[in-house]
Amino acid sequence: MIPAAFDYQRAASLDDALSALSGGDAKVIAGGMSLLPLMKLRLAQPSKLVDIGKLSELRGDGPTADGGWEIGALTTYSEALAATKLDFTRACVEGIGDVQVRNRGTVGGAISHADPASDLPALLLALDYSAVLRSSRGERTVPLDGFFKGPFETDMASDEILVKLVRGPLPAGADGSYQKMAHPASGYSIVGVCAVVGSSGGSISHARVAVTGVGQVAYRAKAVESALVGSDGSAGAVASAAAHATDDQDVNSDIYADRAYRARMAEVYVRRAIDAALGR
């Protein structure tokens, strides 16, 4: 397929890009791994593409002064792999696409695109990341919990650019796991779960469990988290908590997994992710 005609502008700076987004229906492009296929299918028809791929100010991936972590929006998957200190982050990112996608696709692009079967939203939700958004009107920071509004829809305004993603330090002793039932051809998640769990004094003191591929958006399974915190983390407690994996969710149904099967697999993979995060 050939995309509809569009104008193209390579931004010389972030301010230049923000100016180009004021008014109209321009779209930002960086790696292009998500937007270009939609344009070829004419599911997206922006009148203008604003290329931010050369903006060095949006790159960088590393620790912050408070012990947290910061990821520039133009950090590629491969760069994120090289920088991360977390084994479960590495396991998640290594399962995204292929070598070409990981070398070109960007973390900011994946979060902005908000594909309901994308792996990164679940990973970053479980790690309590926030999105830093900038426009000509100023800058705001939005927690990813609540940022995803629907399939391919976020809380980002049309004149805003995601400039970076930030999180605070992990709780002491917390560890995580990413578990995924992948589509055999595309690698997208039929069900993907990230769990970050910490314990203290013999009970679970911290739990973040995020799910992708199951609902209309990647989401925090808060009923699972509530059931887990304060429990002894035993196999029975984890299984009981995992039973809430799809509470309040409109579970997807398609040719790869119907609603009942996907809901059951969500429960299974939530349990697996929590068990792995606990070292079992």
Binning pLDDT at 50, 70 and 90, where does residue 140 land?
A: very high
Could you tell me how far CA 171 lies from the centroid of its own chain? 20
Same domain, 62 and 131: yes
Give the span between the Cα atoms of 197 and 273, in whole angstroms. Answer: 10
Q: How far is CA 156 from each of CA 15, 50, 184, 214, rounded to the nearest angstrom?
A: 17, 16, 32, 23
HSE of 25, CA atoms in CB hemisphere, 13 A: 5
Q: Which amino acid makes up residue 107? A: V
My answer on whether 60 and 160 are in the same domain is yes
Question: In this structure, what token pair is assigned to residue 184?
Answer: 């055999």
* 189, 211: one domain: yes
Polymer length of the chain: 280
Query: Quick one: pLDDT at residue 224?
Result: 98
The b/e string for 13-52 (b: 16+ C-beta within 10 A; e otherwise) is: eeeebbebbeeeebbbbbbbbbbeebbeeeebebeebbbb
Percentage of the residues of the chain whose pLDDT score is greater than 90:
84
- In whole angstroms, what is the distance from residue 191 CA to residue 182 CA? 7
Please determine, for residue 187, whether its predicted confidence score (pLDDT) is greater than 90.
no
Same domain, 71 and 118: yes
Report the alpha-carbon distance of residue 193 to residue 267 in Å, rounded.
Answer: 10
Query: How many structural domains does the chain have?
Result: 3
Contacts of 98 (CB under 8 A, 6+ apart): 187
Q: Is the pLDDT of residue 46 over 80?
A: yes
Residue 237 CA to residue 214 CA, distance in Å, equals: 23
Domain end (from 167, 187, 204): 167
Whichever domain contains 187, its CATH number is 3.30.390.50
The parent domain of residue 266 ranges over: 175-277
Q: Are residues 62 and 163 in the same domain?
A: yes
- Burial level of 279, CB count in 10 A (0-12/13-18/19+)? exposed
108-123: pLDDT as tens digits: 999 999 999 999 999 9
Q: Which pLDDT score, from 0 to 100, does residue 233 have?
A: 96
What is the pLDDT at residue 24?
A: 72
